[in-house]
């Protein structure tokens, strides 16, 4: 055994333990999740058959799906608006350069962190327990789940503002509210809008998923169609969902380039 191959082997020694652990985990996970390649292979002809059942999409279903699609968008929209409003309030409270009260700030940041840890489904079930089924709990779930992320993004943006104009205005007698309006807001508005649009995108997807769980909208129709074996209607619903997602992404892209492209900001 020459020196070169010994040295080569030594380099790999460090990898032995992690590789062994990884293999063990993968193998264990495969057992727990009942990975079965035979099922997968069987699934292929079934997949083909499924595709043949689904295609072409049910053309008459499209007109019926417009209303639920609209509902999904509205849930995401209203939820995002409420979420943004709450996030603005909490965001300002959590920002070090606005709120000199340390306890208040840390509490706000803590609440935002806690909300981010809450899975969406749990918030939905929570609201369903309060107001019953339908789009209303969906809206509230969307709103609540947005506050954590948006609140943090807003607070961070506020804290990253150039502090010198803030101090300059403070030096000549402006009140806190005036300073926020004239020195902080102009700096932070473009990023507020961009972040809100980003969250709206996420909320559209969330709204679709929540619909599947009972909040109404196109998610619900999609799941029903599959459960009732109406595969062509399901394909129609899928097409509508894809169009929705792509349209919202495009919209959010347009708004964001417009904002960073010109002087939005007064």
Partner 1 sequence: MRTLRIPTQVHPPVYYERWYRRWFWVGVIFAVVFAWSLASLNINLRLFWEGIPHFLRLLSEMFPPNWAVFTRGRVLWSILEALSMAFLGTFIGAILSFPLALLGAKNITPSPVVRALAKGLMAAERAVPTLIIILLLVVVVGLGPFAGVIAISLGSIGMLGKLFAEAMEDVDPKPLESLTSTGATRLQVIRYAILPQVLPSLVANSLYRFDINLRAALFLGVVGGGGIGFELHMAMNLFRYRDALAITVMTLGVVWLAEAISDRLRRQIIGRELLQ
Partner 2 sequence: MLTVKNLAKRLPDGRLLLKDISFSVNKGEFVGILGESGVGKTVLLRCINGLTMPDSGEVMIAGPHVTHRINGNHQELRKIQRHIGMIFQGSILVKRLSALENVLTGRLGWISPLRSLLYGFTDEEVQHALAAMERVGVRHLANRRAETLSGGEMQRVAIARALIQDPYLLLADEPVSNLDPKNTEMVLDCLRPLTQQMAIIGVFHTPQLVSKYCTRAIGIKDGVIIHDGSPHITRHMQEEIYGAEWEEDTARPVAVA
Residues that bind partner 1 (CB under 8 A): 25-26, 28-30, 32-36, 39-40, 42-43, 46-47, 50, 70-71, 74-75, 77-78, 81, 117-122, 125, 128-132, 134-136, 139-140, 205, 208-209, 212-213, 219, 222-223, 226, 234, 238, 241-242, 245-246, 249, 266
Task: Give dist(CA 246, CA 226) in Å, integer.
Answer: 22
Counting contacts by CB under 8 A, is residue 183 touching partner 2?
yes
**SS3 letters for 89-158?**
HHHHHHCCCCCCCHHHHHHHHHHHHHHHHCCHHHHHHHHHHHHCCCHHHHHHHHHHHHHHHHHHHHHHHH
Q: Is the dihedral of CA 182, 187, 193, 196 positive or negative?
A: negative
The pattern of x and - marking residues 137 through 176 that bind partner 2 according to CB under 8 A reads -------------------------x-xx-xxxxxxxxx-
Query: Based on CB atoms, which residue is closest to partner 2, 3 or 172?
Result: 172
As to burial, measured by CB atoms within 10 angstroms (0-12 exposed, 13-18 middle, 19+ buried), residue 132 is exposed
Decide: is 101 part of the binding site for partner 2 (CB under 8 A). no
Least separation in angstroms between CB 187 and partner 2: 6
Locate 100 and state its tokens: 């000199």
- Nearer to partner 1 among residue 103 and residue 177 (C-beta): 177
Q: Which residues contact 23 (CB under 8 A, 6 or more apart)?
A: none
135 binds, among partner 1, partner 2, none (CB under 5 to 8 A by kind): partner 1
Positions that interact with partner 2 (CB under 8 A): 162, 164-165, 167-175, 177-178, 181-183, 186-187, 263, 265-266
């Amino acid at each position: 055994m020459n020196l070169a191959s010994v040295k080569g082997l030594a380099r790999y020694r460090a990898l032995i333990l992690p590789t062994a652990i990884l293999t063990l985990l993968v193998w264990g996970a495969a057992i727990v999740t009942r990975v079965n390649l035979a099922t997968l292979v069987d699934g292929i002809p079934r997949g083909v058959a499924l595709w043949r059942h689904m295609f072409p999409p049910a053309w008459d279903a499209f007109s019926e799906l417009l209303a639920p699609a609209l509902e999904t968008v509205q849930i995401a929209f209203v939820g995002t608006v409420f979420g943004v409003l709450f996030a603005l309030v909490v965001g300002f409270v959590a920002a070090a350069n606005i709120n000199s009260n340390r306890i208040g700030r840390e509490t706000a940041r803590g609440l935002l962190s806690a909300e981010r840890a809450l899975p969406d489904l749990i918030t939905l079930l929570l609201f369903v327990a309060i107001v019953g089924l339908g789009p209303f709990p969906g809206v509230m779930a969307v709103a609540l789940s947005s506050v954590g992320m948006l609140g943090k993004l807003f607070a961070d943006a506020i804290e990253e503002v150039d502090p010198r104009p803030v101090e300059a205005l403070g030096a000549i007698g402006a009140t806190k509210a005036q300073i926020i309006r004239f020195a902080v807001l102009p700096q932070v508005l473009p990023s507020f809008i961009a972040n809100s649009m980003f969250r709206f995108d996420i909320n559209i997807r969330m709204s679709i998923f929540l619909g599947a769980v009972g909040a109404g909208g196109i998610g619900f129709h999609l799941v029903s169609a599959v459960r009732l074996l109406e595969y062509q209607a399901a394909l129609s619903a899928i097409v509508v969902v894809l169009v929705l997602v792509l349209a919202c992404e495009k919209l959010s892209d347009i708004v964001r380039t417009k904002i960073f492209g010109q002087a939005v900001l007064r």
